[in-house]
Amino acid sequence: MGQTDNTRIIRIARETGAEADQPEPLDLGHRVRELRKARDWTLEQAAKQAGLARSTLSKIENGQMSPTYEALKKLALGLGISVPQLFTPPKREQVIGRMVTTRSGEGQAQATVTYEHELLAENLTQKHMLPYRARIRARSMEEFDGWVRHDGEEFLYVLTGIIKLYTEFYEPIEMRRGDSAYYDASMGHNVISVSPEDATILWVTSLV
């Protein structure tokens, strides 16, 4: 059961996704101007934040200058983003504002021998993340049929109890309420409860 517990849930979620849109050519100057205006900054304010001359920033926004990598790094730092984010604008011009709420106890249940999952945000399609609450039933690695592995990355946050996180390339880690871990989900991983009661955790898995 172990290797299919999380993988099956993730596969179901991915089946509701859509193929990624093809990226359009980027106008860097327009992108920088949009980022600046989104922060309600003047040219002077943005230039000061980035440590660039106002004239330099103006030329970048108007397509009159191709910035060096050093200038791009300063600009990204000033805007509070990474350099790649300068070249990856939102896919939609219009903000749709999708949202769904899941009341406590109303998530879709998926019970297995080792985990009891409660899927969250179940009614939201084409998600890029899969959040779920899990009750950890397993008490030893012997209860799993090998490692759990799947595409993407995963975030784990301990809600109650004490767990032990086993991973393929690291020593087991004991974790308590408030502790968290972020890891490559293609690396083998399993979680057991080491507290008298079943521990509960929040798991968030990327679907890209």
Residue 1 has a pLDDT of 45
Residue 186 has a pLDDT of 92
Q: What is the mean pLDDT of the chain?
A: 85
Residue 90 has a pLDDT of 62
Q: Sheet harboring 153-160: ordered strands across?
A: 108-111, 115-119, 129-136, 199-206, 153-160, 180-184
CATH number for region 28-86: 1.10.260.40
For the chain, give every domain's residue range: 28-86, 98-206
**Pairing assessment for the beta strands 129-136 and 153-160 based on DSSP bridges:** unpaired
Q: Which two tokens stand for residue 21?
A: 């849109």
**% of the chain residues with pLDDT over 90:** 46
Give the architecture-level CATH label for domain 98-206: Sandwich (2.60)
What's the whole-model pTM score?
0.58
DSSP conformational letter for 25: P
Residue 20 has a pLDDT of 44
Q: Assess contact for 156 and 201: CB atoms under 8 A.
A: yes
pLDDT tens across 32-70, in order?
998 888 888 899 999 999 999 999 999 999 989 888 888
Residue 28 has a pLDDT of 86
Q: Assess contact for 27 and 63: CB atoms under 8 A.
A: yes
Segments in the chain forming alpha helices (H): 2-14, 28-38, 43-50, 54-61, 69-79, 83-86
Instruction: Name the pLDDT band for 96 (thresholds 50, 70, 90).
Output: low
Residue 31 has a pLDDT of 87
d(C-alpha 30, C-alpha 193), whole Å? 52
pLDDT tens across 149-203, in order?
888 899 999 999 999 999 999 999 999 999 999 999 999 999 999 999 999 999 9
